[in-house]
């Protein structure tokens, strides 16, 4: 009987332990950290109206479910480029352009391995809301790991932009314009006025002091000192934005190269700067730029800049040519002097006599 009791107790303890441990191990299992999301959403919403949309998230992991927690965070610019500075701290202050109060989405989502799920989101703008650009980001966070010195956690972000139509304050000022070297091999990006390296891009830096994001369009004409012209027809092919308050640098390729690529089974096109064919010498760049929101004035900005492109081979050849010219001039001068000297000498000797 005692033995039976012992077996019963042992079985109970084992069962209890199993029941206790199973959910724990399941709860502590690391979520997948392989996801596919939409990187950006744009909406136009009139005051008092709302927009309903779906966002599709895909779990690329073949074995683990993707467990994500979703929340809205604000963002701003981090520099003069297009990288968002996410305000992920829970107590981060709300920005004046925040969509937080108007953007509704579920708090959690679980996606089975190798499948996708569409989640409903909604943006509602209150009536009498002022016109302008409003933006925040949806942050999808996978669970963090437990154990070790360094744990890894993957998150994805969708940038959400909403434009509220109406009369807005549009104010871009041109801060800089000219030949521009993008950051490369540890060298920071910079405007150049004389360069030995061929410039791939013409840059222009705009300060946005309005209450809307701006995406400028227009062209740049590049004219060589001997008249040859190169036109950059699209100064902002990626539709990049200057955020509110940002001093944004746009780098327009002098020669833009498009390439068809297959991304994840679908056709896509990428654009990159190719090496332009520029002659050495002085260049004049002329910027003709337009910007403006729907229903508001289209504003224009224009500017002119100059730069020298003097490659090393050109400098070397120029120096050699100059030296050769100097040498020949010296030879000619010497010959003329020698001739004059010879001509003058008999006269002097005659006089002496």
Partner 1 sequence: MHHHRRAQFHEQVNSWHHVWSEAILSFVLALLLLVTPVSAAQMRLQDRSLYVQNNTPSVETSYTVSFRYMSPESIGSVSFLFCVDPIPYHECVTPPGLDVSGATLVDQSGESGFTILSKSTNHIVLTRPAGPITSAMSSYKFDNIINPSNTDLSFSVRLRTHATPNATGTQIDFGSVKGQITEGILIETQVPPMLIFCLAEEVADNCASTNETFYKDMGTLEPATTLSAQSQMAVGTNATGGFAITASGIPPSAGTNVIEPLLLSTESKPGSNQFGINLVANNAPAVGIDPQGIWANAIVASDYNVPNKYKYVSGDLVAYSPNVSLMKKFTVSYILNTSDELKAGVYSTTITYIASGRF
Out of 68, 70, 99, 243, name the contact with partner 1 by CB under 8 A: 243
Dist CA 256 CA 168 (whole Å):
33
Q: Which stretch binds partner 1 (CB under 8 A): 14-22, 42-50, 191-199, 338-346?
A: 42-50
Q: What is the dihedral of CA 112, 113, 115, 120, to 10 degrees?
A: 40
Out of 6, 28, 96, 153, name the contact with partner 1 by CB under 8 A: 153
Query: Is residue 166 part of the contact set for partner 1 (CB under 8 A)?
Result: no
Query: Is residue 261 part of the contact set for partner 1 (CB under 8 A)?
Result: yes
- Binders in 80-99 for partner 1, by CB under 8 A: 81-86, 88
Q: Which stretch binds partner 1 (CB under 8 A): 20-28, 55-63, 99-107, 310-318?
A: 55-63
Out of 146, 341, 347, 348, name the contact with partner 1 by CB under 8 A: 146
Least distance in Å: CB of 151 to partner 1?
4
Query: Is residue 53 part of the contact set for partner 1 (CB under 8 A)?
Result: yes
Q: Would you say 108 or 149 has its CB closer to partner 1? A: 149
Dist CA 127 CA 49 (whole Å):
7
Out of 41, 49, 117, 224, name the contact with partner 1 by CB under 8 A: 41
Out of 5, 26, 108, 266, name the contact with partner 1 by CB under 8 A: 266
On the 0-12 / 13-18 / 19+ scale of CB atoms within 10 A, 345 is: exposed
Dist CA 185 CA 182 (whole Å):
10
Q: Count of alpha carbons within 13 Å of 326, Cβ hemisphere only?
A: 6
Nearest in space to 212 (alpha carbons), one of 257, 155, 164, 270:
164
On the 0-12 / 13-18 / 19+ scale of CB atoms within 10 A, 108 is: exposed
């Amino acid at each position: 009987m005692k033995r039976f009791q012992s077996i019963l107790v042992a079985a109970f303890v084992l069962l209890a332990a199993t029941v206790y441990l199973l959910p724990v191990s399941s709860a502590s299992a690391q979520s997948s950290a392989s996801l596919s999301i939409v990187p950006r959403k744009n909406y136009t919403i009139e005051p008092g109206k709302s927009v309903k949309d779906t966002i599709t998230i895909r779990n690329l992991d073949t074995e683990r479910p993707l467990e994500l927690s979703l929340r809205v965070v604000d963002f701003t610019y981090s520099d003069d480029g297009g990288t968002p500075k996410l305000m992920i701290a829970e107590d981060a202050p709300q920005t004046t352009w925040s969509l937080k109060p108007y953007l509704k989405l579920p708090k959690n989502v679980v996606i089975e391995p190798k499948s996708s799920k569409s989640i409903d989101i909604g943006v509602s703008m209150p009536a009498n809301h002022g016109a302008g650009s409003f933006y925040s980001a949806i942050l999808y966070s996978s669970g963090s790991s437990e154990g070790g010195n360094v744990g890894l956690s993957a998150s994805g972000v969708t940038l959400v932009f909403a434009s509220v139509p109406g009369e807005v304050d549009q104010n871009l000022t041109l801060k800089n314009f000219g030949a521009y070297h993008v950051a490369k091999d540890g060298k920071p990006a910079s405007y150049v006025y004389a360069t030995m390296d061929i410039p791939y891009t013409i840059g222009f830096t705009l300060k946005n002091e309005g209450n809307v994001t701006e995406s400028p369009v227009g062209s740049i004409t590049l004219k060589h000192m001997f008249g040859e012209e190169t036109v950059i027809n699209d100064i902002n092919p990626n539709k990049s934005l200057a955020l509110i308050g940002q001093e944004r640098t746009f780098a327009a390729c002098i020669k833009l190269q498009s390439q068809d690529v297959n991304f994840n089974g679908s056709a896509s096109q990428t654009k990159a700067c190719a090496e332009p064919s520029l002659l050495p010498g002085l260049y004049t760049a002329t910027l003709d730029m337009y910007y403006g929101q729907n229903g508001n004035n289209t504003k224009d900005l224009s500017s002119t800049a100059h730069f020298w492109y003097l490659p090393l081979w050109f400098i070397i050849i120029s120096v050699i040519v100059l030296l050769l010219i100097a040498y020949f001039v010296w030879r000619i001068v010497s010959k003329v002097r020698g001739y004059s000297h010879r001509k003058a000498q008999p006269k002097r000797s005659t006089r002496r006599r």
